């Protein structure tokens, strides 16, 4: 159960219009867009931000990055949503697993290095 009120086409007029478009695409309004649906300006900006991020990256690479970061951050909702999107742009299950392996490995190193306070001595010169 969501910890905030969900606005399924019950927010402001701009949010309702955006959610109607989302519903046409998915056949329903996913909860993430309901949670953002109180304020149409916020929902509009939140939906446009992923389009602006990662210019120059192909869709497969963007989806693999999203999945890897979402997995490490523990967001099952995003992993599920973007696994579906990734498969839709031609990413394989093997590539998804590989991306998560890479993210998990670097997360281990990140946490180890932060935990013991190592001096950064492997810099590009």
Phi then psi for 58, rounded to 5 degrees? -75, 160
- Per the residue annotation, which of 78, 81, 85, 87 is the catalytic one? 78
Look up 123 and say whether it is catalytic.
no
Q: Which is the catalytic residue, given 6, 16, 72, 75?
A: 75
Q: Do residues 15 and 38 lie in contact, with contact meaning Cβ atoms separated by under 8 Å?
A: yes
Those residues whose C-beta lies under 8 Å from the C-beta of residue 88, and which sit 6 or more positions away, are none
Check: CB of residue 23 under 8 Å from CB of residue 29: yes
For residue 66, count CB atoms less than 10 angstroms from its CB and return exposed for 0-12, middle for 13-18, buried for 19 or more: buried
To the query of whether residue 3 is one of the catalytic residues in this protein, the response is no
Catalytic annotation, residues: 75, 78
């Amino acid at each position: 159960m969501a910890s905030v009120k969900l606005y399924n086409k019950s927010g402001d007029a701009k949010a309702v219009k955006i959610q109607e478009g989302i519903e046409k695409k998915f056949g329903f309004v996913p909860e993430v867009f309901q949670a953002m649906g109180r304020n149409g300006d916020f929902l509009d900006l939140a939906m446009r931000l992923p389009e602006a991020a990662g210019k120059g990256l192909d869709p497969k690479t963007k989806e693999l990055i999203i999945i890897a970061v979402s997995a490490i951050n523990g967001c099952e909702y995003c992993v599920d949503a973007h696994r579906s999107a990734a498969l839709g742009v031609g990413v394989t299950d093997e590539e998804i697993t590989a991306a998560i392996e890479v993210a998990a490995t670097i997360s281990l190193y990140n946490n180890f290095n932060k935990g013991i306070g190592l001096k950064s001595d492997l810099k590009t010169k």
